[in-house]
Amino acid sequence: MNPINFLPAQKENESDFIALMKDFYNIDNYPINENKTRENYQYILNQPNQAKIFMIKSGDDFVGYIIINYLFSFEFGGTISFLDELYIDDKMRGKGIGKQAVAFVQHLAEKEGLKRMFLEVEPHNKPAQSLYEKLGWKHHHRSLMCYKP
């Protein structure tokens, strides 16, 4: 297997990113608005203090992506982040790429001095839950809630 690289997203990666996101969203039949996704991609490229996208590359192919969002927390006394999305292409699963991706994210969190990282995972995605737990992630004692204004 080719070495795995985690590369900051670039403008020229947009189509690869969108193709991977479509695959990811298709798993749970989530809708995706391609035009809005393109806008969001460009927005994140221009707002690195607010969010980052990393493309996961194996050889010449992009095989996944990571999206991390940042915010300040009084409770935790500094910057925290939310691992918004981590996707590995179906054909590349079971090869340790997910483990490498989580290790990359954790190393980045330490390097950036983050106070905490949070994530959400679909209830049916037991392999991801197990991976996160093995790598030190804990279930938070609070429930994630959502409001759409």
Whether 11 maps to a domain, the answer reads yes
**3-state secondary structure at position 123:** coil
Structure tokens at 94: 């079971």
User: Looking at the 3D structure of the chain, how many domains does it have?
Assistant: 1
pTM of the model: 0.94
Whether 22 maps to a domain, the answer reads yes
Q: Give the pairing of strands 51-58 and 4-8.
A: antiparallel
Mean pLDDT of 5-10: 98
CA distance 13 to 107: 23
**CA angle at 21 for the pair 63 and 141, rounded to the nearest 5°:** 100
Q: What is the 3-state secondary structure (H, E, C) of 3-69?
A: CEEEEECCHHHHHHHHHHHHHHHHHCCCCCCHHHHHHHHHHHHCCCCCEEEEEEEECCEEEEEEEEE
**pLDDT confidence of 1, banded at 50, 70, 90?**
confident
pLDDT, tens digit, 9 for 90 and up, residues 77-132: 999 999 999 999 999 999 999 999 999 999 999 999 999 999 999 999 999 999 99
Tokens 């390097």 belong to residue: 111
pLDDT for the residue numbered 77: 97
Mean pLDDT of 40-49: 96
Whether 148 maps to a domain, the answer reads no
Provide the CATH number for the domain around residue 93: 3.40.630.30
Q: Which domain holds residue 113?
A: 4-135
- Eight-class DSSP state of 96: S
Proportion of the chain above pLDDT 90, given as a percent: 95
Whether 144 maps to a domain, the answer reads no
